[in-house]
Structure 1
């Protein structure tokens, strides 16, 4: 009996060790690629000094595949929300890069009692930025832009230098907006932000909550639970999360033909719509649009980018349509760095908006800005 018991324990130990064994793949170079679901690949740099080197996937409401590809090997995993997996990349047969991939857990604050409803006034600037007063590290008052096309907290180099008393390079900064406060934030640096602002903060700070953007009353209302059900006047759109941000589906229309596709929901983009030339080519989009003007724009890194403004006949968003919109065409492809058109705030400001990060839906209803003239009029 003792002999049988010993054998059983030994088998249990061997089984446990096998279950805990970390997968290993090989590489001869430090550059790799990561592919989430059906998204385009993104680059990843291996670093054996970081143990573990953590990659956080874009929010997903269901399980999602993850593929890690080196120059000579690969591994594919499927992770549910809240799940993490470890693996090792052995570089040149000697350097072990301990890597962890995390599919973040889903957040939902609807069960908080009592429910919270924080109203934050904003200024809609002449450049269509949502400018909001914020306090960084409990001492520095800054003007920040709420930007659904970004994540985290981003400050300009000038603001860090002249308007703050120092920013930690580690993740121990705080941000206060109205009655809400976030701790343990890493501050990212950029050269430029929206005119009149010192930086921006992204949609993910409100993940698990519901954000109302009321342009009629210039208020951002953040709910732990929405106190009413959006009525029939709202157009409804499932959120598609991709590359840390999110998109909705809509369509462009030329001569009665509709070209449906996804649009990055980016109220931080100050213009109307930035068209992705790759998607246009794939859909054989007509190339004879009327050119209104040619300009040079600057991105967040201060780089100059040539842009054409052309007349778009119709943009269909749910049951609502906007006509004769001056939209933008970049000379480069994939302005969002993945295949999507970009829907900017000169269009989005015309809708009072509900961003439901619990049920992962966007609701849009026309407001008092619906008939406002576009800044780059197609009548020039």
Structure 2
């Protein structure tokens, strides 16, 4: 039996202890040398450029710690540029990660900012045990899409509106649905900008899909046949399909193979609402612009001050007539290589802004079968059997206006 050399053992332990202390010391020194980036500003107005297409106006807030910007398409790598009036910071983001930095405002206020490559935590939570694809029939009323469902186990008629920034409930349906309201949300719609009551923690069911923790804000501009409107915030981690030929709404986990015969377009999101690029032509001029893909608008399109306020565009638009400070104009549009002739629409005066974004409505958009890949940020369009369906064009305009206006 060998005798143990305790002095040798004690020496080894001492050397091992020194190695451990050195490792921890080096790690601590390395950690302590990691500095959070700092940039300066003398104005609270900031511009965030996110990827190739998304540009966001941001306002510094020293009271929110941290003040978080959520990357537009968080499941993809992106380059985010945070630009103050004095300096800028460029970040290469990766899915699931967050990036913290500080903005020193007016050499006085410290603003803690976080860029998060994740979906916002306040989005409705969907049942994750579903079997895909999920197919749900829909119907059209006018050009709008309606689904049958329930709120807190009470049946409702639900409009699916990709142009809706939040879930809303008809003020005339609230009592029947026995909703309780405990909060308020600022809403901008056809009634203007108002603070409206919000009901929290509701349960929504459509077909086999369940959502929990659903917030519904009460509004007064809905039709009698509309109980609830939901938008893309309910599907931001999914792929959705609108098939007008089969009158089916389909929820996918993976991108369908048939997209190979669709036209692929990039999108970015404004309050979860997809925006896509289209071309319009007016007075022998061509304009490329990013429009809301608004399935909830029962009309052709709208030109907001985000478009009319650029350069000399407002003065370049020749009106057929002017109604309530809006120019009624005639134009052609091309979407996914499909041309729509002689659209008659209205254009907002940039000197009298109302905050409405430029958009295409479902009189035009329902001429396509649609697949929206929210994960990757792409829109797939294919002309469907509704290609000859009428929309508001110059001929219908001439049939509707009074003869006194025609002479002008």
Question: Could you say whether these structures have the same fold, taking a TM-score greater than 0.5 normalized by the shorter chain as the test?
Answer: yes
Q: Is 2:11 the partner of 1:11?
A: no
Task: Give the CA deviation at 1:65.
Answer: 0.9
Match of 2:297 among 269, 273, 279: 269
Q: Name stretches of at least 5 consecutive residues in structure 2 with no aligned partner.
A: 1-14, 121-127, 184-198, 400-408
Q: Name stretches of at least 5 consecutive residues in structure 1 with no aligned partner.
A: 107-111, 297-305
Cα pair 1:27 1:90 within 8 Å, conserved: yes
Distance in 1, matches of 2:55 and 2:351, equals: 14
Question: Corresponding residue for 2:402?
Answer: none
Question: Corresponding residue for 2:248?
Answer: 219
Deviations 1:71-105 (A, max 9, x none): 87765533223221223456788876544321226
TM-score between the two structures when normalised by the length of structure 2? 0.70
Match of 1:58 among 64, 68, 72: 72
Cα pair 1:209 1:358 within 8 Å, conserved: yes
TM-score between the two structures when normalised by the length of structure 1? 0.75
- 1:82 partner SS: coil
Size of the alignment, in residue pairs?
355
Distance in 2, matches of 1:286 and 1:83, equals: 45
Task: Give the CA deviation at 1:345.
Answer: 1.0
Deviations 1:55-81 (A, max 9, x none): 323225331214164x87765533223
Task: Give the CA deviation at 1:348.
Answer: 0.8
Question: Corresponding residue for 2:329?
Answer: 310
Seen in structure 2, the aligned counterparts of structure 1 residues 276 and 52 have a Cα distance that, compared at 3 Å, is: closer
Q: Name the structure with the higher helix share.
A: 2
RMSD over equivalenced CA pairs, Å: 4.0
Distance in 2, matches of 1:334 and 1:230, equals: 42
Task: Give the CA deviation at 1:121.
Answer: 2.6
- 1:378 partner SS: helix
Question: Corresponding residue for 1:209?
Answer: 238
Question: Corresponding residue for 1:259?
Answer: 287
Task: Give the CA deviation at 1:223.
Answer: 2.4
Match of 1:342 among 343, 352, 359: 359
Seen in structure 2, the aligned counterparts of structure 1 residues 53 and 175 have a Cα distance that, compared at 3 Å, is: farther
For the pair shown, the structure with the greater C-alpha radius of gyration is 2
Question: Corresponding residue for 1:239?
Answer: 266
Match of 1:176 among 205, 211, 215: 205
Cα pair 1:87 1:99 within 8 Å, conserved: yes
Distance in 1, matches of 2:353 and 2:107, equals: 38
Task: Give the CA deviation at 1:180.
Answer: 0.8
Deviating more after overlay: 201-210 vs 281-290: 281-290
Residue pairs, 1:147-162, within 5 angstroms:
147-160=161-174
